[in-house]
Structure 1
Amino acid sequence: MQHFRRRFRTLSFVFLALPILCACTTVRVTRPERTATEQLLLSTAAEAQARSLDFGVPAGKKVFVEPANFDGYDSKYAIAAIREQALRKGLRLVAEKKDAECIIEIRAGALSADQKALLIGIPSFDLPVPLAGGAFSFPEIALFKRGTELGVAKFSAASYDARQGTLIATAAPPASASYQTETVLLFFISWSEDNLDRPEE
């Protein structure tokens, strides 16, 4: 009888604890179409390229930055960086062309990202399994592997007199770049390098 009571108490405890043990919390994690790394690559390159622009307009002049011919990924961010550069040069930004003494037309030759990869070893491949109707995925064997993501920005600008329409100056600096590199050595030793302003992991 005593043994039965012990078993009854044990079963009772299990049934009481079951709802707690089965309870779970589901957290929804959003996954944007573009990664933060891609956005940082483009914004870092855009900021560096904007800082290299010299508009050739004397400080104190009222200028209108014309973005009509500026296009590319994250173009709004890049245009804002160019406007900031104009302010740093001591220029006075106006909201409308009619109020400007000078017009600065800007355009983007490049504002995007490239990927490069190098593998010394055996790449992953599917190996058919006879009679199973499927395939076995053979894992990658990397003696040395390096993957690089590169952000590239190339901007140009033409400044001209708003009333006379005469050219003041042009600016076409060399392209600016940002990068992130992932390296794997002997299967499992890995490290990364970048010039992105990102938080520590």
Structure 2
Amino acid sequence: MGRLIVENHAIRLNIPRTGLGLVLCLFLGCGNSLQRTATEQLITSDAVDQTVAGFDFTDLAGETVYFDTTYLKTVKGVGFVNADYIISSIRQQLVAARCLLREKRDDADYVVEARVGTLGTDQHEVTYGMPANNLLSSAASILPGTPTVPTLPELSIAKRNEQMGAAKIGAFAYHRDSGEPVWQSGVRQASSTAKDVWVMGAGPIQSGNIYKRARFAGSNLGLSFGEDGAESVAALPVDYHSEMHFAAPAEKTIQAVHEEADTQEAEKPKGDAESKPADDKKRQEPGKLGKATKDSLPIKGKSSPPKKPKP
């Protein structure tokens, strides 16, 4: 025998799946979803997250990168999830791959460009029975003197409503000066679903990608129906969906920062009085003086012996 346990305002069903229909028949009722704005935002943003999570920018690790958002436009009326969310998601993936973002194009060696092909939702509804209609009312209005016939309500055994959010995003990278291609993601697309089911008026039973487990009118059922998750992608150094603490920059990143600082220092204009030969501008590391420089340094407290002439 199954048990129905109510604990902490959450319903947990410890019954086999085949007995779910019998339980619902004992608790016949009527349920409806009044607002679906949050659901639409969840499935749309989840589709974007799945798509961007597959971008692997590790080929540009340690390099200065400018993210070009020219072709990511915010469209009014599309919804809360728009170009701004996509731009921030891709920037997060770039930073996680140890790319050095620059706000100006001229300050970067490489350019990453992205585009959006699809961003929206679809909804499908199936009624197993007779949907609400006003056929009798329309027919009665033809005959004069006929009393008004009300609209027939919905008479259904079960009803199913499914929402799907889809995103299609592409990105590529190239060298800023030469224009040589460096990397491209290919066209990636992903979808996320939210499903509602009513049986004999009881519901909605909610399932889909945005729910970890099936729910009954907002409460966890503790059942999993084996929903298909996100598209599997290759393992990346940093998981887009997980929290990550970056303890210290990578060795390549530190080296790139020092090289950039040295280049900027060398390009600074100097007066004639401070001008030096090109050889003197080279940075000498401590303890690694050149041979000629080391031989030319006098020893403190001693005079340099004269050189003997060669025979």
* Runs of 4+ deviating beyond 3 Å: 129-135
2:123 is the alignment partner of 1:115: yes
Bigger strand fraction: 1
Q: Distance in 2 between matches of 1:54 and 1:170?
A: 9
Q: 1:134 to 1:83 in 2, by over 3 A?
A: farther
1:47 to 40, 46, 49: 49
Specify the code of the residue in structure 1 equivalent to 2:168. Answer: K
1:35 to 37, 41, 50: 37
Describe the superposition over 1:156-201 as per-residue Cα deviations: whole angstroms up to 9, x where unpaired: 0010001111111111254111111001122335411133279x66
2:104 is the alignment partner of 1:102: no
Specify the code of the residue in structure 2 equivalent to 1:192. Answer: Q
Q: Distance in 1 between matches of 2:180 and 2:146?
A: 75
Describe the superposition over 1:133-169 as per-residue Cα deviations: whole angstroms up to 9, x where unpaired: 7552211122222111111111100100011111111
Q: 1:149 to 1:189 in 2, by over 3 A?
A: closer
Find the counterpart in structure 2 of residue 16 from structure 1: none
Find the counterpart in structure 1 of residue 85 from structure 2: 77
| 1:110–1:155 CA contact under 8 A, matched in 2 | yes
| 1:44–1:178 CA contact under 8 A, matched in 2 | yes
Q: 1:133 to 1:103 in 2, by over 3 A?
A: farther
Describe the superposition over 1:29-58 as per-residue Cα deviations: whole angstroms up to 9, x where unpaired: xxxx98122122211111121111124633
Higher relative contact order (CA 8 A, sep 6+): 1
Q: 1:135 to 1:167 in 2, by over 3 A?
A: farther
* Range that drifts further, 36-45 or 156-165: 36-45
Specify the code of the residue in structure 1 equivalent to 2:208. Answer: D
Find the counterpart in structure 1 of residue 177 from structure 2: 163
Q: Distance in 1 between matches of 2:66 and 2:211?
A: 30
Find the counterpart in structure 2 of residue 93 from structure 1: 101
The root-mean-square deviation of aligned C-alpha atoms, in Å, is 2.5
Q: Distance in 1 between matches of 2:178 and 2:110?
A: 10
* Range that drifts further, 127-136 or 172-181: 127-136
Q: Distance in 2 between matches of 1:196 and 1:177?
A: 11
| 1:156–1:171 CA contact under 8 A, matched in 2 | yes
| 1:46–1:78 CA contact under 8 A, matched in 2 | yes
Find the counterpart in structure 1 of residue 186 from structure 2: 172
SS of structure 2 residue aligned to 1:48? helix
Q: Distance in 2 between matches of 1:197 and 1:102?
A: 39
Q: Distance in 1 between matches of 2:147 and 2:98?
A: 70
Q: Distance in 2 between matches of 1:62 and 1:134?
A: 74
Uncovered stretches (5+) of structure 1, i.e. residues with no partner: 1-32
Q: Distance in 2 between matches of 1:104 and 1:174?
A: 16
| 1:55–1:158 CA contact under 8 A, matched in 2 | no
The TM-score normalised by the length of structure 2 is: 0.49
Describe the superposition over 1:67-117 as per-residue Cα deviations: whole angstroms up to 9, x where unpaired: 111245411111110111111111111111111111011001111111112
Q: Distance in 1 between matches of 2:55 and 2:148?
A: 57
Q: Distance in 2 between matches of 1:96 and 1:171?
A: 23
Give the greater-gyration-radius structure (CA).
2
Q: Distance in 1 between matches of 2:179 and 2:36?
A: 41
| 1:153–1:176 CA contact under 8 A, matched in 2 | yes
Q: Distance in 2 between matches of 1:102 and 1:78?
A: 20
The TM-score normalised by the length of structure 1 is: 0.74
* Range that drifts further, 47-56 or 108-117: 47-56
Q: 1:69 to 1:76 in 2, by over 3 A?
A: same
Q: 1:136 to 1:103 in 2, by over 3 A?
A: same
Specify the code of the residue in structure 1 equivalent to 2:102. Answer: V
| 1:150–1:177 CA contact under 8 A, matched in 2 | yes
Quote the sequence identity (%).
Answer: 26
Q: 1:95 to 1:77 in 2, by over 3 A?
A: same
